[in-house]
């Protein structure tokens, strides 16, 4: 199943390290089939609170490759360029299969509710 690396960006001190990170991150994704789906851009908060700087969303073919990318020497070699200059919440999340319906989650939380 597809997996995603998601970052909610709160603050960036843009400088040479962030530039170097941005120039190098794409090459770290290639071996793991990762690709950017969202990288900044326009957004609108409809509910709750969201960081002013928005969202980064990277897609991977599966959770294993997403985790392997994050833990890879190539990414670990550059991650400090970002973390020293950016405040963000970052997670990995597994996607759902094609045709998934929200009501399917009922079977996981309350088998009696899944009619």
Look up residue 61 and give its DSSP letter: S
CA torsion angle for 4, 31, 69, 42 (degrees, to 10)? -40
Instruction: Look up the domain containing 42 and give its range.
Output: 3-109
CATH number, domain of 58, equals: 3.30.70.100
Q: Average the pLDDT over 42-56 and give the result.
A: 84
Specify if 73 maps to a domain: yes
Specify if 115 maps to a domain: no
Number of domains in the chain: 1
State yes or no: pLDDT of 112 exceeds 80. Answer: no
Specify if 44 maps to a domain: yes
For residue 107, what pLDDT band results from cuts at 50, 70 and 90?
Answer: confident
Question: Phi/psi at 21 (nearest 5 deg)?
Answer: -60, -50
Given this model, what pLDDT does residue 44 score? 85
84 contacts 66 by C-beta, under 8 angstroms: no
Specify if 25 maps to a domain: yes
pTM score of the predicted model: 0.86
State yes or no: pLDDT of 36 exceeds 80. Answer: yes
64-74 residue pLDDT tens: 999 999 999 99
Q: What angle is formed at CA 69 by the lines to CA 63 and CA 70, rounded to 5 degrees?
A: 95
């Amino acid at each position: 199943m597809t997996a995603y690396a998601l970052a909610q960006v709160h603050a960036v001190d843009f400088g040479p390290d962030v530039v170097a990170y941005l120039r190098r991150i794409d090459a770290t994704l290639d071996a793991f089939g990762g690709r950017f789906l969202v990288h900044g851009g326009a957004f609108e908060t409809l509910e709750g609170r969201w960081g002013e700087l928005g969202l980064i969303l990277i897609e991977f073919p599966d959770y294993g490759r997403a985790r392997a990318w994050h833990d890879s020497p190539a990414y670990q070699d550059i991650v400090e360029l970002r973390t020293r200059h950016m405040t963000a919440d970052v997670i990995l999340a597994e996607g759902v299969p094609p045709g998934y319906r929200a009501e399917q989650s009922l079977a996981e939380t309350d088998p009696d509710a899944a009619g």
